[in-house]
Amino acid sequence: MTHSQPPGGPDRPAVLHSEPGAALRRCAAIETEKFATGHWGRAPLLSRAAELPNPAGFTDLLSPADADELLSRRGLRTPFLRIARNGELVPAARYTGGGGAGAEIGDQVLDERVLELYSGGATLVLQGLHRLWPPLTEFTRHLAADVGQPLQVNAYLTPPDSQGFATHYDTHDVFVLQVDGRKHWRIHAPVLADPLERQPWGGRADEVGAVADGTPALDVVLEPGDALYLPRGWLHSAQAQAESSLHLTVGVRALTRYTLVEELLALAAEDARLRAGLPFGLDVADPEAIEPVLTETVEALRDWLHRVEPAAVADRLRRRAWPASRPAPIRPLAQAAAVDTLDATARIALRDGLRCRLRADGDERVELLTFDRTISFPAQCAPALRTLLEARPVQVAQLPGLDDDADRLVLARRLLREAIAVPAAGPQRWRSPGGPAAS
């Protein structure tokens, strides 16, 4: 693995992804519509570095020096690191230990143990980097908006001529972003199309092994800056070449039609016919005895499905999907200072990446639904909240529907305290009491 890149860090300049579609264009070298209709959930897509918009590749997201920083100086703990060798996970006790005096932590990553295992051919898997490393937090948030699905990011650091995992499939789509070194990928068609999370490859190990012995659908070496999209279920294996390899895997935790079925069945518990017990003395092992009960139950389910309200299903899907993606991080101390110094000339904006929905709650209240809670407001706040949800910065004095600036300030301060809004970028600067101005 090359280390010509100077030590990076989460505060260095990164490629901007805020323009809609910009993050996806870094991963797929075709138009979004063509990707959606021709590849999304259907077929792999190889995108060479020369076809992608960033000539520097993906080192702005995580470089080899950044990986060393995480492994040595950031107090990393399990499960943010896994280590695999010869296709099997190494027990965490082999590379973790106490955090030193006063830490009272028993599972911190020990860099010298990591060195020993890596030098012996083990693959290091940095997990959940969308929660740990700011450049990836930013990139993942924008890519999640482009694809409309929650994402996770892992990094795989593989020594020369080594392979961390045997041929397998994932139960989620992935974008593979080759950061450093070269890696040989062999891709085979699925043994099970569109597997669910409850259908991992281990249950079909014999089928996977048989297909993996055949001619691959795609046999390719990824170079730095290359990207590869794989739908869930496609078999794959990867081996580092003569040098060490670092690649990112962006996992897409897509919702499925089966997810919809699960939520429909959860709602079906409201139907009394479907809650009824089976007949007394029923022999559940007898198909002839089960048949009339099954027919009656299917009819009851069909009747209920015709009455189900889309709004009820949407509410359950929202509560399931929204918590899987977090909005942009906030700085708690700066946000608290902004609340204390807010005046009517200040501008606020919706927190970037925050998914929320406004709905009426009777005639006198409205509710703001977010990824983690429901917040109630007086109905007269609705016009101001709708203005904020347009995702454009607004001056507190221009929030509509309220009687005066005093009421507007009460609402704006609450939105800042609830982490719904943030101070808008602009010329104004927030001053901590007794301290210097802060952006």
Q: Residues 28, 126: one domain? A: yes
Coil, helix or strand for 46? strand
φ, ψ at 264 (rounded to 5°): -60, -40
- Taken in order 433, 436, 437, 439, the sign of the CA dihedral is negative
Q: Are 90 and 171 members of one domain?
A: yes
Residues 130 and 278 in one domain: no
pLDDT in the model for residue 391: 74
pLDDT of residue 72: 93
**Residue 183 to residues 15, 120, 224, 418, Cα–Cα distance (Å):** 24, 18, 9, 45
Is the distance from CB of 154 to CB of 136 less than 8 angstroms?
A: no
Looking at the structure of the chain, the number of domains it has is 3
User: Which of 165, 67, 145 lies closest to 109, judged by CA?
Assistant: 67
The DSSP secondary-structure symbol of 142 reads H
With respect to residue 10, please indicate whether it lies within any of the assigned structural domains. no
Runs of H (alpha helix) within 17-125: 22-25, 32-38, 64-73, 111-119
Domain-ending residue, one of 270, 286, 321 = 321
Rounded to whole angstroms, the Cα distance separating 231 from 174 reads 7
What local confidence, expressed as pLDDT, does residue 428 receive?
Answer: 37
Answer whether residue 232 is part of any domain: yes
Q: Please answer whether residues 357 and 386 qualify as being in contact, where contact means their C-beta atoms are separated by less than 8 angstroms.
A: no
Is 5 within the bounds of a domain? Answer: no
pLDDT at 278: 94
Give the integer Cα–Cα distance in Å for 252 and 44.
Answer: 14
**Domain encompassing residue 205:** 22-252
Statement to judge: residues 194 and 275 lie in one domain: no
Q: What is the pLDDT of residue 12?
A: 52
The reported pLDDT for the residue numbered 18 is: 67
Same domain, yes or no, for 118 and 166?
yes
pLDDT given for residue 56 in this prediction = 85
Q: CB within 8 A of 390, min separation 6: which ones?
A: none
pLDDT at 392: 86
Question: What are the Cα distances from residue 350, in Å, to 119, 170, 321, 400, 423?
Answer: 47, 35, 20, 16, 9
Say if residue 295 is in the same domain as residue 365: no
- Tens-digit pLDDT profile for the chain (439 aa)? 444 443 444 455 445 566 889 999 999 999 999 999 999 999 999 999 999 998 789 999 999 999 999 999 998 999 999 999 888 899 999 999 988 877 788 899 999 999 999 999 999 999 999 999 999 999 999 999 999 899 999 999 999 988 878 899 999 999 999 999 999 999 999 999 999 999 998 889 999 999 989 999 999 999 999 999 999 999 999 999 999 999 999 999 888 999 999 999 999 999 999 999 999 999 999 999 999 999 999 999 999 999 999 999 999 999 999 998 889 999 999 999 999 999 999 999 999 999 999 999 999 999 999 999 999 999 999 999 999 999 789 999 999 999 999 999 999 999 999 999 999 974 333 333 333 333 3
Residues in the chain: 439
Radius of gyration for the alpha carbons in the chain, expressed in angstroms and rounded: 26
Q: Does 272 reside within a domain?
A: yes
**Residues 341 and 427 both lie in one domain:** yes
